[in-house]
Amino acid sequence: MTEKRKNSEKKEPVMVEQDDSAVTFEAGLERLEGLVAQLESGDLALESALGAYEAGMGLVRALNAQLTAAETRIEILTRGPDGALQTRLAGEDEL
């Protein structure tokens, strides 16, 4: 038997800053995990769940941008003098 929850028992989502690009990757990921946990719990009212989803999608976009920037930076750092990508083992000393 399922029990209907009352609207007054629904929890409010964790508030997320509007400028997600200023959040460190680790902090943003932690916030995103918290929002996902709230959404998965089913304890949010519809409007709160929509707000949490929107906030989570904003974090996903910001975190994806940070990962893309890191990948680009790594690629630039691993290009050789001729512009070709060079593969080397992690920890390998520069010659």
Give me the tens of pLDDT residue by residue for the chain, a chain 95 residues long.
444 444 444 555 444 445 666 779 999 999 999 999 999 999 999 999 999 999 999 999 999 999 999 888 887 777 778 878 776 655 555 54
* Overall pTM surpassing 0.85 (yes/no): no
CA distances from 16 to 42, 58, 65, 91 (A): 19, 9, 17, 37
Q: Phi/psi at 79 (nearest 5 deg)?
A: -80, 140
Distance CA 16, CA 64 (A): 17
